[in-house]
Chain A
Amino acid sequence: MLDRELKKGSAELIILSIVEKRARHGYEISRLIESQSGGQLKFHIASLYPLLYRLEERGWLQGRWVEKPGQRRRRFYRLTAEGRRVLASQRNTWKAFVTAMRLITGVDHA
């Protein structure tokens, strides 16, 4: 399990990336995070949903209720225009940060 502080600092970037390509619902987002990180990152639903709530209030995500026959009502999230801008900006920040870390500590990234 990666350090709690690291997870907190990157949570927004992670979620915005996951929903970049298409709208997803909460549980799907949490499973994708776990699978795409090779099990290194796990967001418990109790902490994920408050984060989604916050991102939606900020206007970076837009939520929509979808009810399919035979399924319970689910809220799907997609990126807004503002969210895309924030995602691009945060990606650049992380790239610069990672480069700096590599130079200082000699850590290679995969």
Chain B
Amino acid sequence: MRIYRLLLYLYPASFRADYAAEMEAIFRSQLRDARGGARIGLWFAVVHEVIMNAPAVHWDILKQDVRYSARTLNRARGFALTAVLVTALGIGANTAAFSVADFVLLRPLPFADPDALVRLCEGPRTGAGWGCMNELSPANYRDFKAMSSSFESMGAFTGAGVNLVGVGEPRRLEIAPVTPEVLPILGVSPVLGRVFESREDDRSAVVISYGLWQSQFAADASVVGRTVRLDGVAHTVIGVMPRGFYFPTRNVQMWTALTFRDEDYEDRTNTYIRGVARLKPGVTFEQARADLEVIAGRLARDYPDTNEETWISFFRVRENMSPRFRLMLLAVGGASLCLLLLTCANLANLLLARAAGRERELAVRAALGAGRERLMRQLVTESLILTLVGGVAGLLVAAAGVPLFASLVPDTLPIATEPAVDLRVVAFAALFTTLTAFGFGLFPAIRAGRRTAFDALREGVRAGGGAKQRLRAVLVTIEVAMSVILLITSGLLIRAVWRVQAIDPGFKPENVLIFHVPLPRPKYDKPLQRVQFYDRVLERVRTLPGVQSAAFTSGLPMVTTGLITGVTIPGREAVSRRREGVSHRWVTPQYFRTMGIPLQRGRDVEDRDRADRGWVAVVSASFAERYWPGQDPIGKTFRHLDDTRTVVGVVGDIKVRGLERTSEPQMYLPAAQAPDPFPGGFDPKDLVIRHSAQGSALISAVRQIVHSIDAEQPVANVRAMNDVIAGETASRRGQLQVLSVFAVVAILLCAVGIYGLLAYTVSQRSQEIGVRLALGAEPARVGRMILADGMRLALFGIVPGVLGAYAAARGMSALLFGIAPSDPATFSTAIGVALVTVLAGTLVPAWRAVRLSPMSVLRAE
């Protein structure tokens, strides 16, 4: 019979309370009457019937509970809406934040076995920095590849831009020339055609991206075999990569064949490629690194002239992002956890408040025969309905919110910009919230079970012991603490952004338009051809109405951050450019005026600085200071490549590498004084125009001018320089937006939480307050008492909040750009805001307490 009783446990407790005894008695008599095989048959039948019918009873009860809960929640709409809103915010914010963090930091890249994919570049001996510090030379690449035993396969790639002509509008494309090993290393098969093989005719083959196939080729299924012209040279499309495939970054639209000629191996300092490899099975990342370091050491010994300071940058493909980005994402993740905790505390408070109001109702129902289990079931069902609706609303919040996080996705990773809502994160946040709702929703039922119904009925609404009040107070202090943390961390980041935005870039970006006009080779192989192009374009552009000045440059600050070279000063020992690099640009006259770079001494590059005159240079102040400290640099000479140049002007330094990074000293050389032959990568390719007022009309005029001079020349990436500067702080501002929203939500929830608690306290103590007032207490004193309660709560929350915020600020000090983690202004502002919020939440209850009429309170008893 014990077995039968255990079976009956499959039924709900309320059902068992009514029927278990009877069912057991009947079964006992049936078992008595049965003999031999019939007994076994009876047992089988019983087990079968119980298993088939028990779920139906549970389902019936659930349906009843849902109907009942819907009715009660409908009667308490304010509570239900608030609970749903709070749940939605908690789940939504967390889902959005963690979906992005997971997408960037954790999710495997869309390649075969992505953890085995590694990148190889040259790097400083110190091993400092992240990502690819210096590019590889073909000679070093060949040696690393041949001498290493850690890789299944290794390939090389580089970056380039080409003009795509003959398919729609002439278009500037970012491409990646790759060796045949590269695409197979990544392990992704093309959707059409094939990838590169080591064939002779693959030298003029291209593989295109899915996006390019859609946009430029209209998803033509017969695109394989088509001819396209890149910089005037015919290429054949051999394959199309699948959607979502990006390598090395999402901007690359096409892959061409990278080949090396014998002369490419001659100069070990001719660095322009990057390596990608797949680890051999069983070889760890550290083992491979050690292997490569041994090889680097050997090369340094064998070729001391070129390789003495050449070490390696070796990292997983997944890790190619700045530590700052990672920190930003972690900070956002931490903030959203704070918010989750806060919303759960708020939800718990709401449920406890509701519980207090329902004690009487539950007591009556218990007195009328409702079992404790039944009551608990109903309360749990109600909580689950709230969290379900809140969860769905939270998903909508998350879906709407994820795009806000788009600027937190670094563009150095081969992934798309748009993270999607991650269901695992939804599940986590939902679970957390459900457990909260579960736990606090059950409170009144547990209490109802403990005390006798009679007690509850007798004491009426006044019941509501100290324990529950204390718990609610604790929850409110948690809310205050979380709000303070969010306020302080967002405050610090705001100040950091302001500080970065206040950095003087060294030039004046307002009213400057930039156009990318790269001249293709071999069409513009000769310097004279290029100079003529620049002259003709500039001559006509400068006559356009609204144009104040215009020039060409080989690289704009913050857009092109590299182009580092070395110079030799007569009488000074030659130093490798890895240790003392100089940022160099080839410019046409009026560049400094157009960019607003101050000319400090001497003169600008002028029209007379042609190839047949003395070769000159304009240098930045830090350049002059480095090589001729304390001297007048005008007239001094130095050697660059194989040419001697004379300094004719000194300009202010600019932030070439970006607002937050240190830049090398700068050197500007006249475009007309470029050596021949000259690598295409260093050509002036950006047109800058300083204009007055409306710039938009200029854009089409400039396009027309370029088109009339060379119909096949695309004009790309037209932007305002101001947008480039704004882009420097885009991810910071994105993070800030997110954190500010969190902080505002936190503060509002906090205020609501405090208000709710104190309003309840006042109503609880209304009798006591009424008596006090009747006995002559000043109303103002009563009000102060309530205010003091509120402030006490605030303090208990502010202190741990401040400590937590300080710890968090120290953890993310790398993001604070020089603002101290304990910045007094931020801390005191945040504490002030928290106090004001608490005050706001306290005011109405205090006012109500003051306005209590002793007569009406006492009469109501």
Contacts and interface: CB of A to CB of B under 8 A. Distances in A.
B45 A73 contact: no
B57 interface: yes
B19 interface: yes
10 contacts: A27-B22, A49-B19, A49-B22, A50-B15, A50-B56, A53-B15, A57-B60, A74-B22, A75-B19, A75-B22
Contacts of B19: 26, 49, 53, 75
B183 to A, nearest CB: 61
B544 interface: no
Contact of A46 (B18, B21, B25, B50): B50
A57 B49 contact: no
A53 B18 contact: yes
Contacts of A73: 21
B704 interface: no
Q: Give the interface centre of A49, A57, A63, A74 by most chain B CB atoms within 10 Å.
A: A49
Contacts of A30: 26
Q: Give the interface centre of A50, A53, A54, A73 by most chain B CB atoms within 10 Å.
A: A50
Given A49-B23, A57-B64, A75 B18 contact: yes
Interface in B1-33: 11, 15, 18-19, 21-23, 25-27
Interface in B681-706: none
A59 to B, nearest CB: 12
A47 B11 CA distance: 11
Interface in B625-659: none
A54 B60 contact: yes
Interface of B: 11, 15, 18-19, 21-23, 25-27, 45-46, 49-50, 52-54, 56-57, 60, 64
A35 B21 CA distance: 24
A45 interface: yes
A61 to B, nearest CB: 13
A26 B26 CA distance: 10
A30 B25 CA distance: 14
Interface of A: 25-27, 30, 44-47, 49-50, 53-54, 57, 63, 72-75
A26 B22 contact: yes
A45 B26 contact: yes
Contacts of B56: 50
Nearest to B29: A27
A65 to B, nearest CB: 9
A45 B27 contact: yes
Given A44-B46, A45-B27, A57-B64, A50 B22 contact: no
A100 B15 CA distance: 39
A46 B23 contact: yes
A10 B261 CA distance: 89
Q: Across chains A and B, which 10 residue pairs bring their CB atoms closest together, nearest first?
A: A46-B49, A44-B49, A49-B19, A50-B57, A46-B50, A47-B53, A50-B53, A27-B26, A45-B26, A47-B49
Nearest to B55: A50
Nearest to A25: B22
B49 A72 contact: no
A30 B21 CA distance: 16
B53 A46 contact: yes
Nearest to B21: A72
Q: Give the interface centre of B18, B21, B57, B60 by most chain A CB atoms within 10 Å.
A: B18
B459 to A, nearest CB: 30
A54 B15 CA distance: 10
Given A45-B27, A46-B53, 14 more contacts: A26-B19, A26-B26, A30-B26, A45-B23, A47-B49, A47-B52, A49-B15, A49-B19, A50-B53, A50-B56, A54-B57, A57-B64, A63-B18, A72-B22
Contacts of A27: 22, 26
Contacts of B45: 44
A79 to B, nearest CB: 19
Contacts of B54: 50
A76 to B, nearest CB: 11
B60 A53 contact: yes
